[in-house]
Structure 1
């Protein structure tokens, strides 16, 4: 009788629980899951869920950091010459650098930091009245929603121009 009791206890301790199903890795009662990219991850796989998802929320077999870098075009439409500008970019992004535009073509120094952009010329150059691409900014982040704010524009003799922001990325000053 003791042997039978011992056998029952051993079988209950070491038996498989057939009520638990297998996970995607084939482990009975395992915790592996199919992630958003359709890959078996977590559990005993050693893979983190959604490891193939890039910063844009797309599944890819190759994840390149430069896929996450985008650009913001900043336009202007001004009836006066622009001798300097400053604005802040609001949004869930990180400005990396400026790369092109009429500010750079006019000899301006354009600096960025903490999502604040400042442009001016140490040599007294200006951007002629008119319209065009003021600057283009490289940024990284998971959002493409952004807007300019805290705008300051100067003209000749460091006169502050009454400019406004249109469509979140255009600096406008009319007559």
Structure 2
């Protein structure tokens, strides 16, 4: 009985440390040192309304905006097939007919819009939530966006390079363009 009581006390103490104290300390540190990141890196408009997050991709369909990566999940609207808030890939093999058909359809759509298909404009990301496209994918869309907005190609290209997120600490990851931030720059909101 003594060993059972010691096991119960040990379990309770470990539960208290790992389920209550540790998360509370991490929350306190995050809210104190990194409140913007800890609260979702939310972007607001000039009226203070939340319009998105730097961390979650959004779908843009207008010719006046840069298009994001395709996603296999509909993370912004919930329905029975794809409840909102989920992330994930399709898990289809490269030889799967459904994936091949979807990729060909996306590539044809891009070509019809005078956009040279790039890998990240054709294939979905692993999480389905990636907010970035490559610089190459953004540059492939310059002519389309400039034409739709009656802007000079060079002005749009300048906005792209102003919106590039560089490598973390100069060595981790690849440079990419946050599509929401780029589209907001086009609208003159940031």
After TM superposition, the score normalised by the length of structure 2 is: 0.23
Higher strand residue share = 1
Larger radius of gyration between Structure 1 and Structure 2: 1
Higher helix residue share = 2
